[in-house]
Chains A and B, each alone.
Chain A
């Protein structure tokens, strides 16, 4: 075990290998509030990567309804239950990570899903939590009941549990972009990674006898293109890029700006200790204790900032850039009412208006003598 720095939990922690950060780290921001659970991302990934024999059940990308949706079943709550209640003190996590809580003989605290846990990828879909809606209830804010869609891929963690748990060193983190891959020539199918990954984003393929996982569409990343689930996202909730350490944050880099400068995007279950690199703009209408457990103590600040996005042209403009181009936007700049995105060589790849033209329809159109109805 080595002592490594994990900025997401504000302290050092023990990890199986010494700290070794890639030259740059692939990262993403997902704006949960914009996801419509159309699963286009899921299918884009499925079609591209997991249409083979033995991959039928694999969803390297999945979208689940929280709080009752999971793939595999109970992936998060089972681990949280094993870990038990753990404290944060301000922005510092005082509890134990999955590496620190590893049971005797194990490299990380984990659990192995049974086959049946993969049988219902849409369990809990659109199920609400909160107060029961009874006759006579009316619309009010905050809503009486809530749910939100959580789109998930592999987090290409800085401290991957999958990598740490493999006794053969068959999993590696690419030094050029931090993408975490299973070496398909070396893997012997021990499924230790499946047990250790808290996000359950490694899957065993019974027809090849090896474990397989999301590879961040690395052949596209190498060409400065966003992965398939980003490109195809209908809700334009996703932004692909690269993240730096907080003290090296570049305010013109979209991911750094959202994660470090505005702190509006947060890691998923940072307390587990993996320094995951998919960051979420948390949902506006879900109970704060739930969100705090899921995204850490930064959730209050993130939501406060996000709520004001409409009057914040830089933030609004950057959020409007999401999903506007297949190119990875390395830099952004606002000029007036337009947001510009640039590639890694400084070439402009996209520009979007911060506010799209709005047409206000009256409830009655006297010229045509009709009351227009919204039919979409």
Chain B
């Protein structure tokens, strides 16, 4: 056996070189966060090469109405790194359509990482947490990434052929860019006036959320996560970076769950593919 293998080795190396896929470490049973000095902010950072890949199997959210009955994205590749204060996840999945606009009847690709708000032996319900046991969610949306990457906050960016005669807040009598004009425009965009950041310009493509059960999702008091996503040939690679939740530190364990939305298949909100809790092990030391 041994000589045969040895004689095959150059061939194997050649095959690997041709496919340009260096062998990546894997972690089938859990998500292992390696300890690094500095966290990468992007999905192409070489630091990810060392992080073991956990192939997470996704299930349809078929428990709470509205449910997703037909499975779509069946798996997600998750990697993790920690600098001792924050934890970073690199998530890659296939989404042939690259759906990145949200307009009537069209939805965006998205991904989310969920952690118990407090690492403790008693884990919250993996489906959005439960009363008394909240979960924290970092949510990335392809449409928000497009805004961060420079898509203008205009109707023309969504509908290139749209022609609009007139908006009252763009009347000649109102000086363009004046506070009066901005105030009037806000009156015709109630969600923006209330600070609901579901659309519009944004500094980052992610949102920090908190939940204590299905239907309770709400933005966290402080937006602390960052992220960056990139279209890959067949899908997306996204990095999400967030502070370690309460009670979690290097060398300790907690749980993590993931969710993926295929916007092109009408997946939004509760209609999603998701995992249960997956063990999360943070490397200690250093």
Partners in one complex: yes
Residue numbers of A with Cβ under 8 A of B are 47, 51-57, 104-107, 112-115, 118, 165, 167-169, 184-192, 194, 203-210, 212
Interface size range on B against A: 35 or more
Chain B: CB-nearest residue to A170: B215
Asked whether any CB of chain A lies closer than 8 Å to the CB of B18, the reply is no
Residues on the B chain within 8 Å of A210, using CB = 190-191, 196, 198-199
The dominant DSSP class at the A interface is: loop
Q: 8 A-B contacts, Cβ less than 8 Å apart?
A: A51-B167, A51-B168, A115-B106, A168-B269, A187-B191, A189-B102, A204-B103, A206-B158
Q: A52-B185, A192-B66 are in contact. Are A207 and B199 (CB under 8 A)?
A: yes
Residue numbers of B with Cβ under 8 A of A are 62, 64-69, 101-107, 153, 155, 158, 162, 164, 167-169, 185, 187-196, 198-200, 214-215, 217-218, 266, 268-270
Residues on the B chain within 8 Å of A54, using CB = 155, 189, 199
Residues on the B chain within 8 Å of A185, using CB = 191, 194-196
Residues on the A chain within 8 Å of B106, using CB = 115
Q: A51-B168, A105-B66, A188-B269 are in contact. Are A115 and B104 (CB under 8 A)?
A: yes
Residues on the A chain within 8 Å of B69, using CB = 104-105
In the complex, number of A-B residue pairs with CB atoms less than 8 Å apart? 130
A182 to chain B, nearest CB (A): 9
Q: A106-B66, A167-B214, A168-B269 are in contact. Are A55 and B104 (CB under 8 A)?
A: no
Complex Cα distance, B67 from A107, in Å, reads 9
| A115 in contact with B155 (CB, 8 Å) | no
Residues on the A chain within 8 Å of B194, using CB = 184-185
Complex Cα distance, B199 from A182, in Å, reads 16
Complex Cα distance, B64 from A192, in Å, reads 14
4 new A-B contacts at CB < 8 Å, known A188-B198, A190-B270, A207-B199: A185-B196, A188-B269, A207-B189, A209-B196
Residues on the A chain within 8 Å of B190, using CB = 184, 208, 210, 212
| A190 in contact with B268 (CB, 8 Å) | yes
Residues on the B chain within 8 Å of A52, using CB = 167, 169, 185, 187-189
Complex Cα distance, B101 from A118, in Å, reads 18
Residues on the B chain within 8 Å of A115, using CB = 103-106
Complex Cα distance, B168 from A55, in Å, reads 12
Closest 8 CB pairs of A and B: A52-B188, A209-B198, A209-B199, A105-B67, A190-B269, A208-B191, A185-B194, A210-B191
Residues on the A chain within 8 Å of B153, using CB = 207
Complex Cα distance, B218 from A57, in Å, reads 29
B185 to chain A, nearest CB (A): 7
Chain B: CB-nearest residue to A194: B104
A107 to chain B, nearest CB (A): 5
Q: A56-B155, A105-B67, A167-B215 are in contact. Are A184 and B196 (CB under 8 A)?
A: yes
